[in-house]
Amino acid sequence: MACQRSQDAANFVFEGKKIIGVALNYMCAVNARKVPVPKEPIVFLKPTTSYIREGSPIVLPKVFTKVAYEVELGVIIGSRCKNVSREQAMQHVGGYCLALDLTAQCNLTAARATGGSWTLGKGFDTSTPVSRLIPLDAVNDPHALPLWLKVNGEVQQSGCTADLVFKVPDIIAYVSKYMTLEPNDLILTGTPHGSDAFKAGDVIECGLADLATMKFNVCDE
């Protein structure tokens, strides 16, 4: 498998499959939330119907009163793996992307308090805007990438993937103990601090180093 990676990567096109999110994975976000540092990655799934690309608007569902932006590094799986070691994990990365993990805070706050599910608050339509594929060879070190987000031109989030609690190979090794990772699966690695609510009419822009930027208009359902 591993030796096929460079051939696969040359022809790799990102066709978003399952989306695996990691929560509270930046030290700055953990500190801002005043919660203990997670001992293991906190993992959730989002449906493929949540993907959008630049050119489509973010649509805020009627059922939610407060939806927040979260800018994240996306890791795109390039080859199938299960029970992969930390040492072997990076051989299964097919590329990267810039992503937003839009989150209904109104729903998540209640879910956290009651131990309820995050599925609807994380998985609504348009909740996973993604950039085009960033090829592997464009990224020397996925743990040295600045990322930022602006709302209506004002910087609201600014972080660096150096601050990740669980690094990319840790996440791949951990998740693959439980579920098979397949080509085109997307791992959302978590957001730095500063995530907050936005509203219809706002313009959200974000960027990842000099590798990708994207811009979305926001409307109500």
Give me the half-sphere count of Cα atoms (radius 13 Å) on the Cβ side of residue 23.
15
Q: Which two tokens stand for residue 141?
A: 């070190």
User: Residues 46, 68, 101, 149: which binds Mg ion (CB under 5 A)?
Assistant: 101
Measure the CA–CA gap between 68 and 191, rounded to whole angstroms: 11
Q: From residue 142 to residue 181, what is the string marking binding to ligand OAA with x (rule CB under 6 A)?
A: ----------------------------------------
Q: Which does 157 bind (CB under 5 to 8 A by kind): Mg ion, ligand OAA, none?
A: none
Four-point Cα dihedral 12, 169, 73, 9, nearest 10:
-10
Nearer to Mg ion, 1 or 35 (CB): 35
Q: How many CB atoms lie within 10 A of CB 217?
A: 14
CA 66 to chain centre: 19
Q: 3-class DSSP state for residue 219? A: strand
User: Does residue 24 belong to the site contacting ligand OAA (CB under 6 A)?
Assistant: yes
Q: 3-class DSSP state for residue 109? A: helix
Distance of closest approach, residue 7 Cβ to ligand OAA, in angstroms = 33
Q: Are 10 and 154 in contact (CB under 8 A)?
A: no
User: Residues 24, 151, 191, 212: which binds Mg ion (CB under 5 A)?
Assistant: 191
Q: Which two tokens stand for residue 152?
A: 């209506």
Distance of closest approach, residue 191 Cβ to Mg ion, in angstroms = 5
User: Does residue 50 belong to the site contacting Mg ion (CB under 5 A)?
Assistant: no
* Number of chain residues interacting with ligand OAA (CB under 6 A): 11
User: Does residue 189 belong to the site contacting Mg ion (CB under 5 A)?
Assistant: no
User: Does residue 29 belong to the site contacting ligand OAA (CB under 6 A)?
Assistant: yes
Instruction: Identify the sign of the CA torsion 64, 114, 18, 151.
Output: positive
The footprint of ligand OAA on residues 32-61 (CB under 6 A) is none
Q: Which two tokens stand for residue 110?
A: 């209640």
User: Residues 91, 126, 127, 191: which binds ligand OAA (CB under 6 A)?
Assistant: 191
The residue ranges that bind Mg ion (CB under 5 A) are: 70, 101, 191
Binding site for ligand OAA (CB under 6 A): 21, 23-25, 29, 70, 101, 103, 108, 190-191
